[in-house]
Amino acid sequence: MAPIIEVNQLCKNFKELTAVSNLSFTVNEGDVYGFLGQNGAGKSTSIRMLLTLIAPTSGSINFFGKNLKNHRHEILRQVGAVIERPDLYKYLSAYDNLSIFAKMSEIKVSKSLIMNQLQMVDLADRAHSKVRTFSQGMKQRLGIAISLIHNPKVIILDEPTNGLDPQGIADMRNLILKLSREMGKTVVISSHLLSEIELVANRMLIIHKGKKMAEGVVSELLDPSKTIVQIETLNNNEAKGKLLLSKWAEFVQQNNGLLLLQMNKGDIPQLTIDLVAMNIPVLSIQPRHSLEDYFISLTNPNAHVEAFAN
């Protein structure tokens, strides 16, 4: 796929604070690109530079092969964005909000187009309800409908699930997948909710203290050979002793008293057979390798797993 966004050596300093340091990454056409990091990692600062809301201290940003600084208006006409919570006219209806934002963008839209936009975000049945009656999730979806009114190629969402309940998070996840799979949009999602990004992103960037820690295809970064398997038994101390005397000894690790093995995911069936053969009463076996584990291993490698003490 062709690159849609190319960022090279991007830096942003606020007096003595370096918010973003030599950040480089590439978003390809068709990506759902997860831009991940803890609060304060530099995600929102980077997103604001992508949207020209703040100027970088140094570095370059290209969209569609063109420099953002030199082609700002041309590029931003092909980009839609929702930054944190969308600014909406809460005493107007969803329909009127879309109509007003279309006029502000100098776009002529028909009633059917506005209704199609609302249908796309599952708000058609609330088209004429005032926005002040909407849940936060509904407001977020309306914000996305507004960001799509000019049919952009790229959608940038900054923390789109902030403040949402579980149903709202699920709705947002489904909408992001619809934008990518059905509408062919390239989507950039900034978030600290790693488990959600794992469900939607095909590529990702992990940023920590303003610096890039990793970038790549999610399935490749999540190495199955480093799966952490959590085992719960009726007697973890006894189980640990038996495992340390078995062929699994080199894999045995611990975290706060839990019984863990770091191993290849494909070896879990054989481990299960061996646990039964060793008469270890197993209550559960849970693979824990996830994007969250990977993120923690990069940003705080000693936080997750420590070797068993003698």
pLDDT score for 83: 87
Asked whether residue 306 is domain-assigned, the answer is: no
Q: Are residues 146 and 217 in the same domain?
A: yes
pLDDT score for 131: 96
The pLDDT tens digits for 66-87 are 999 999 999 999 999 998 778 8
Q: Are residues 173 and 260 in the same domain?
A: no
Q: Are residues 99 and 238 in the same domain?
A: no
SS3 152: coil
pLDDT score for 297: 64
Question: Of 221, 255, 276, which marks where a domain is finished?
Answer: 221
Domain of 241?
224-289
The pLDDT tens digits for 147-197 are 999 999 999 999 998 888 888 888 999 999 999 999 999 999 998 877 778
pLDDT score for 305: 40
Q: Are residues 15 and 137 in the same domain?
A: yes
Give the integer Cα–Cα distance in Å for 81 and 99: 17
Q: Give CA separation, 264 vs 28, 231, 251, 269, 307, in Å.
A: 30, 15, 10, 11, 18
Asked whether residue 197 is domain-assigned, the answer is: yes
pLDDT score for 53: 94
SS3 122: coil
Contacts by 12-18 with C-beta closer than 8 Å and gap 24+?
Answer: 12/42, 12/45, 12/46, 12/49, 12/54, 12/56, 12/57, 12/210, 13/57, 18/210
What is the residue type of 83?
I
Asked whether residue 8 is domain-assigned, the answer is: yes
pLDDT score for 302: 56
Cα dihedral: 212, 213, 219, 225 (round 10): 170
**pTM of the full predicted structure?**
0.78
Asked whether residue 307 is domain-assigned, the answer is: no
SS3 291: helix
The pLDDT tens digits for 2-14 are 799 999 999 999 9
Q: Are residues 69 and 167 in the same domain?
A: yes
Intervals of the chain under pLDDT 50: 304-310
pLDDT score for 2: 77
pLDDT score for 247: 87
